């Protein structure tokens, strides 16, 4: 079994997680909707952006720290909200939150987490962020917001791109549930993943603990599935930001923005920051990658609010490219899930170490000492065609021509 300190890249961590996590949960993370074209593009489009190397400049004493919502963070990275995190590793949300806290970056707990808000608050000492879905049962959502406030969560991340679920074929074929159904196929899978199975036997946290016990009609797995399927609210609108902010009493980040006009609407209705996100390619297959959409959105609202990016971030170089195109910070989801599946809390820490080292070396080779000074001057070229559909307006991405 390879030691975590021998793992040098996020891709290597992914391969290790694949060997340790049951197929249905590994594929829950490693999948997109329909053809998975947008899922693949999220990562592939980073490779179409070339960095500008600089030499013979002072690169001593490099600074990785920045700020998100006025709070200092160790590097421009936060852990994204991911559902079923506690199925990658037993008590996974607690482990990931601890790793993020020790490293000095934000952790965001999903509404559809295995560990509850209270579970994570009990096992951490610093405030974390909570991701919120707006559901038809507004009384439940109000209670959920109140629970996040009581747990001293310092921000809400409002996800706006899941009014209806995308076509996620792998999840359907795998029959994925939490807790998992003890089918012959899954029992055989557990026999091949004994470490995962043993850890799961040692925790009581196996289902969506933010929901079960907090909704009258949800007391078992069948009730949970029925409730969830009818709860995502297709009537969500921008005005909902106002009552959510009033109820929470703290900053609200809007996640799921891929369009400049949507970005303006979010900010105009009170968003304190936005996340350029396509739900990791798990919603509209055929949508733009997030790095492709980023510059247009930065041009639209970047002077009035903080713009973050998630989707496809697998390395410190990806972070440099996102910052160069105007993001204040980035979120990682699958990358930390693979660390969690491969090695629990230590695996998440190792992923953060890998990304920080790649970020540091890339900064140095680009001639930068402070991560906050990274900008378009650090790019050599961008091979991402601008948006040129007939009749569309708005600022498109511009190609940076090769020079020198």
Annotated binding site for FMN: 81-83, 110, 131, 159, 255, 277, 310-314, 333-334
Annotate 234-264 with b (16+ C-beta within 10 A) or e (fewer).
eebeeebbeebbeebebbbbbbbbbbbebbb
DSSP 114-136: SS-HHHHHHT-SS--EEEEE-BS
Residues 192, 284: Cα–Cα separation, whole Å? 34
Alpha-carbon torsion (224, 227, 230, 236), positive or negative: negative
Residues 169, 388: Cα–Cα separation, whole Å? 32
Tokens of 177: 């549930």
Binding-site positions for glyoxylate: 28, 133, 168, 279, 282
Catalytic residue among 64, 214, 237, 279: 279
**Alpha carbon distances (Å) from 99 to 106, 171, 212, 346, 352:** 10, 28, 26, 7, 9
**Helix intervals (H) in 257-315:** 260-268, 290-301
DSSP state, residue 307: E
Residue 279: active-site member: yes
Q: Residue 77's closest CA among 41, 105, 116?
A: 105
Q: Which residue(s) pair with 340 in the sheet?
A: none
Binding-site positions: 28, 81-83, 110, 131, 133, 159, 168, 255, 277, 279, 282, 310-314, 333-334
Phi and psi angles of residue 115, each rounded to the nearest 5 degrees, phi first: -80, 140
**Alpha carbon distances (Å) from 300 to 102, 144, 273, 294, 295:** 35, 32, 13, 10, 9
Phi and psi angles of residue 193, each rounded to the nearest 5 degrees, phi first: -125, 60
DSSP state, residue 63: B
Residues acting as catalytic residues: 279
């Amino acid at each position: 079994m390879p030691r975590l300190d021998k793992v040098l890249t996020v891709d290597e961590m992914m391969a290790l997680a694949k060997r340790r996590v049951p197929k249905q949960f590994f594929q829950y993370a490693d999948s997109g909707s329909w053809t998975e074209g947008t899922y693949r593009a999220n990562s592939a489009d980073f490779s179409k952006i070339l960095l500008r190397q600089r030499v013979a400049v002072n690169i001593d004493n490099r600074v990785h720290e920045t700020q998100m919502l006025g709070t200092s963070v160790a590097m421009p990275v936060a852990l994204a909200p991911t559902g079923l995190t506690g199925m990658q590793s037993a008590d996974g949300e607690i482990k990931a939150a601890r790793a993020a806290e020790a490293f000095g970056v934000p952790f965001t707990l999903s509404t559809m987490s295995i560990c509850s808000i209270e579970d994570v608050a009990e096992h951490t000492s610093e405030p974390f962020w909570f991701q919120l879905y707006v559901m038809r049962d507004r009384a439940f959502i109000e209670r959920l917001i109140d629970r996040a406030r009581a747990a001293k969560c310092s921000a809400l991340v409002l996800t706006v791109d899941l009014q209806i679920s995308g076509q996620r074929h792998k999840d359907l074929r795998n029959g994925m549930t939490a807790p998992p159904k003890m089918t012959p196929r899954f029992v055989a899978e557990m026999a091949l993943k004994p470490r995962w199975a043993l850890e799961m036997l040692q925790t009581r946290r196996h289902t969506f603990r933010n929901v079960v016990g907090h909704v009258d009609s949800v007391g078992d797995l069948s009730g949970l599935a029925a409730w969830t399927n009818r709860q995502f609210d297709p009537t969500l609108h921008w005005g909902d930001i106002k009552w959510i902010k009033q109820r929470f009493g703290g900053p609200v980040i809007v996640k799921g923005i891929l369009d400049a006009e949507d970005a303006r609407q979010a900010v105009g209705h009170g968003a304190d920051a936005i996340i350029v996100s396509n739900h990791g390619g798990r919603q509209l297959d055929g949508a733009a990658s997030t790095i492709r959409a980023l510059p247009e959105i930065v041009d639209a609202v970047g002077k009035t609010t903080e713009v973050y990016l998630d989707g496809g971030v697998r390395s410190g170089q990806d972070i440099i490219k996102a910052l160069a195109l105007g993001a204040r910070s980035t979120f990682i989801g699958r990358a930390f899930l693979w660390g969690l599946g491969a090695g629990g809390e230590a695996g998440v820490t190792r992923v953060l170490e890998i990304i920080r080292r790649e970020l540091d070396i890339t900064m140095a080779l680009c001639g930068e000492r402070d991560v906050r000074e990274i900008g378009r001057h650090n790019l050599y070229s961008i091979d991402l065609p601008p948006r040129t559909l007939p009749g569309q307006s708005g600022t498109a991405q511009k190609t940076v021509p090769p020079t020198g």
